[in-house]
Structure 1
Amino acid sequence: MTGFSGGAAPTVRLDDGIEIPQLGFGVFQITPDEVQARVEEALEAGYRHIDTAAAYNNEQGVGRALAASDLARDDVFITTKLRNGEQGRTSAADALRNSLERLGLEYVDLYLIHWPSPARDAYVDSWRAMIEAKEQGLVRAIGVSNFLPHHLERVIAETGVTPAVDQIELHPYFSQPELTRVLRERGVAVEAYSPLGQGRDLDDPTIAEIAATVGRSPAQVILRWHLQHGYIAIPKASSRSRMAANLDVLGFELSEADMLRIDSLDTGERIGGDPGTFEISQIR
């Protein structure tokens, strides 16, 4: 379910009525010494959703940016994620508390299992720890990332608790129609990382043609495509101007025909790791 918060920022409603801003700022690959400044800039630009992870090694800088801000804690939606190497019922609980300490927060709004890491076979136990953390008030919502349908079905079957979100690689060249269909049927919000295909999709001729027609940039067209599909998107930006441009996607709409043209660009080729085999510990 999508809506509008404060008359401006589009939101998606998660379980328990929690509203997540539909456009967020991702800090993947932003170095620890740069992240505070980038997040401060993002907050000044109007972002109210920051997405980090323990594996990014920059939670502390995100926390410093929040502390330096004049914004109330309730005004900013914070997501972080559980490392593969810390999966397991006890270790996941400890990992969350360590993330909270690094962020300087009493709770996070959304906590995700970063990858299923199937060879470890610990994601169900990790999920049980996250259910307990939500009951304890350490997180407001819990979800997963990079989960395929069979991973999702297993955690639901064994715990009875459905993830609020599945954060997946999703962009026009890799739109994962079958996975997004399953997620919608299960009531799981779809969140896109690499929503611009790490820049690759921006050069597509169809995207460029649509952008010229609507008088917007290719990035704005792709982000608008995400919004109209009801996806949550967390683009990165390296400058204040791009941060602002990525947020400026509410003043136009794509036609149904343009949406279908962009849908047809799917190649089925992912950029990132395959969730069925990805096993890096993420601890370094």
Structure 2
Amino acid sequence: MRNLPAPAKLNLFLHVTGRRSDGYHLLETVFEMIDLSDRVDLRLRHDGLIGRINPLPGIAPEHDLTVRAARLLVEHTGCALGVDIGLNKRIPIGGGVGGGSSDAATVLLGLNRLWSLGLTRDALAQIGLRLGADVPFFVFGQTAYATGVGDQLQACPQPPRRYVLIAPGVGVSTPRVFADPCLTRDSKPLKIDSLLQGRLVFCGRNDLEPVAMRLEASIEAALTALREAARRFEIAPELPRMSGSGSTVFMPVPEDQLAAVVQFLESGGRLGEGASVHVGRTVARHPLNSWAFV
């Protein structure tokens, strides 16, 4: 199996609504996939071994989410087959747009078919939760309103949108953001009925954004660039925001303004060294949403 898509995600808002006794934070968010995607190759092996064809620099196999996903499937099912995993990275690493989680989910979905496991979506999501809180969303496979630690999901259809993203080229430590004493941990949830009808998604905010900006100045610089573009092109000023725990920032842009906004951002020295501009389109359903369960 070659070229399986692993789409990025955006958090259209992200509220921290509490904290569990075990230290995990309770969240409220809307996850949406976009067509900026990594690509995963899965090559069947009959010797039971699980390997990486092109391992990511500096990441040991035991920490590679794609390898861990395959090993968890073996642990759960007892499958005697193996796989070689290849990965073509296009999603910014450590950017808060779910690249590693999406890669892991695509491995789970792909191996469910390649190994003829016949697992249900719920079973794969439970396995995915052991890899990270964002993985169940990609297995769920559609725009979702999420609560809990991000694993309690309800379908939340949204109108199609185009986005401009800026990846500052730096990573932010998610544990450090959540551990910060200045983090807001008691946001009031939005009205779910309005959310599920496709409204209010940009009325919220990202509670992690102020902390991440203080920890990494390049995030604030990227948001400033987006806000300048919003003023220039008469886009609502509250729309630029950060995804996840950072560092990627984004805003929705009308289709007919997309090219001009990108050109504006890439000119005039607005971007810091190492920063890059990306564009994305809403993906309403994961490309493997039905295929993985045949």
TM-score range, shorter chain: under 0.3
Which structure is higher in helix share?
Answer: 1
- Please give the TM-score of this superposition, normalised by the length of structure 1: 0.27
- Please give the TM-score of this superposition, normalised by the length of structure 2: 0.27
Larger radius of gyration: 2
Which structure is higher in strand share?
Answer: 2
Relative contact order: is structure 1 or structure 2 higher (C-alpha 8 Å, sep ≥ 6)?
2
